[in-house]
Amino acid sequence: MNQDALPPGSLDAAIREMEAALGKDNVLTEAEGMADHGDPFAPPGEWYSPGAVLLPGSVEEVQALLRIANRHKTPIWTSSQGRNKGYGGGAPRVSGSFVVSLRRMNRVLEVDEENCMALVEPGVRFFDLYEHLRSTGSKLWMSVPDLGGGSVIGNALEHGVGYTPIGDHFGQHCGMEVVLANGDVLRTGMGGMSNPHNWLIYPHSAGPTPDGLFTQSNYGIVTKMGVSLFHAPEVYAPGWFMLDNEEHFGSFLEVLRPLMIDGTIPNQPMIINAVCAASAFGERKEWYTGEDSIPEEVLDKIAATPGFGRWVMRFALYGDAPVVAHNRAKIEKAFTAIPGGSVVFEEFDGRNLPEFDNPHHRVQAGIPSMALDQMTRWYGGEEGGHIGFSCAMPIAGKDGCAIRDLTRKVLNERGLDYSAAIIVGKRSMIHVALVVFDTKNERQTREAYAATKAMLEPAAKLGYGEYRSHLDFMDEVAALYDFNDNAQRRFAETIKDVLDPNGILSPGKQGIWPKAWREG
């Protein structure tokens, strides 16, 4: 529940200057226009919401609005598209702030076919980049998250992932342009040279590499970024692993770990439990209508549905036919040795893909869609919402079972279902408890938020840190990074105060508050 808000009228003086700088059409002050820039799943009442929305169209307009915000000391909360819906969407941590949406800055500035890179603006959605590649005849593949409506840059800056071999989106970026709070324009890496020949191919300059500072932070507004693409593979082989029991979930993760570290599985697999699998195809009421959490025997019924299981993993292989064949056989052998485990693969010509009906086949081939939005409709249909409770941990049976047991218990105690999607990387996995609820049901919505907060501390005790967080518990998450009396926050505040002395950029983002707010 939001307790930080600007008093009414705080923006009035600045709004007129913003209108002069950006044009009246690009300053939204009516509830209707702002609705798409808030938290889409918030419970009724006081919550995180913009005071006005600014839509700059260029770097110069970003600089202009920063000048005005500095003069008036009004906070501006920046999002690229504001589509990270499970974490608060485009809404500001401090209600009544300006929200800067970069949706109008949506140009694909360059596609470098030889080096498999693109240079994009923050308003470029995964859909936009995909359309650009296809319409310009590029042969390259890109990486997308489950939903293609978000910003390519915004996703990377929030440490979001995709599901191809280049799915670590921040790790795969090369080069940034950032407008600092004082309006200065910084280009990182070799974009720091007058001749930016190397900007998209070498990630450092001679000197410190600041790119990571601009992720999950409030230090600047990223206005350009270099994004990795990859060659269409000879063979694209999406696969499914199904596990029909809970008992061997831990041993499955033990089998998976070396296959990830060695690159036998080259993309970012996603492991989902029975509830999450069912939610991709329909609503809860098709399975159960009780108000308590879904019972074991119903889970067993879901798990017995062909293609489902107690746990299902989506993954894919990419490459030359003999390499894919070898890795496929290796994976089949390893996974079918797990009691209750089975594997299926399909294979496609990567240079000549069919139109896929299956949205998972699209996602892992880097083709954006919105089909998997269905998952958040488990409880409320069109009015369904979710919060992500998203912890990192090693790919290990012990850890997977511990977080499963912890989150399932807390959610079930509050009558909520345990829907899990585990995003697997090379050495770590992010266990996302998709805390789903019906936004029309205020009690359930509030339970969902409360349950999520209740899981933070027990997870942290086990060493499982949140990899990102909803607006509503950014402070709590930051507090749990408590080594040496919260040295990380102390360091972050030191940088904040010198880069943004007026504290205008996204105050409270990830628990980083400007000096005036810390003291006030």
From 130, 318, 467, 489, the catalytic residue: 467
Burial of 296 from C-beta contacts in 10 A (0-12 / 13-18 / 19+): exposed
Q: How far is the CB of 393 from its own copies (least distance, A)?
A: 6
Q: Which amino acid is at 399?
A: D
Told to judge if 87 belongs to the known catalytic residues of this protein, a careful annotator would answer yes
CB atoms within 10 A of CB 372: 18
SS3 per residue for 97-122: CEEEECCCCCCEEEEECCCCEEEECC
Q: How far is the CB of 177 from its own copies (least distance, A)?
A: 9
Asked if 179 and 70 count as a contact pair (C-beta separation under 8 A), the reply is: no
The contacts of residue 266 (CB under 8 Å, 6+ apart) are 165, 317, 318, 319
Closest among 54, 225, 82, 221 to 149, alpha carbons compared? 82
Q: How far is the CB of 402 from its own copies (least distance, A)?
A: 10
Q: How far is the CB of 501 from its own copies (least distance, A)?
A: 11
Q: Which of 48, 87, 236, 418 is the catalytic position?
A: 87
Identify the three-state secondary structure at position 400. helix
Q: Which of 119, 137, 123, 95 is nearest to 11 (CA)?
A: 95
User: Closest approach of Cβ 35 to its own copies, in Å?
Assistant: 28
Q: How much of the chain is helix, strand and coil, in % rounded to 5?
A: 35, 20, 40
What are the DSSP calls for 201-230, one per residue? T----SS---GGGGSSSSSEEEEEEEEE-E
Give the nearer residue to its own copies in terms of CB position, either 54 or 227. 227
Residue (72 or 496) nearer to its own copies, CB? 496
Minimum gap (Å) between residue 214 Cβ and its own copies? 7
- Is residue 332 within a helix (H) or strand (E), and if so which, with residue range? helix 321-336
Please identify, using beta-carbon distances, which residue of 293 and 452 lies nearer to its own copies.
Answer: 452
Q: In terms of CB distance, is 81 or 510 closer to its own copies?
A: 510
CB 325 within 8 A of CB 245: no
Closer CB to its own copies, 264 or 412, in the complex:
264
Which residue among 103, 125, 284, 468 is the active-site one?
A: 468
State the nearest-atom distance from the C-beta of 190 to its own copies, in Å.
5
Closest CB to its own copies among 16 and 490?
A: 490
Nearer to its own copies, 362 or 431 (CB): 431
Sign of CA dihedral 372, 414, 289, 313: positive
Pairing of strands 220-228, 341-345: unpaired
Classify the C-alpha dihedral 346-347-350-355 as positive or negative: negative
User: Do 220 and 214 touch, CB atoms closer than 8 A?
Assistant: yes
CA–centroid distance for 510 within its chain: 14
**Which residues are annotated as catalytic?**
87, 467-468
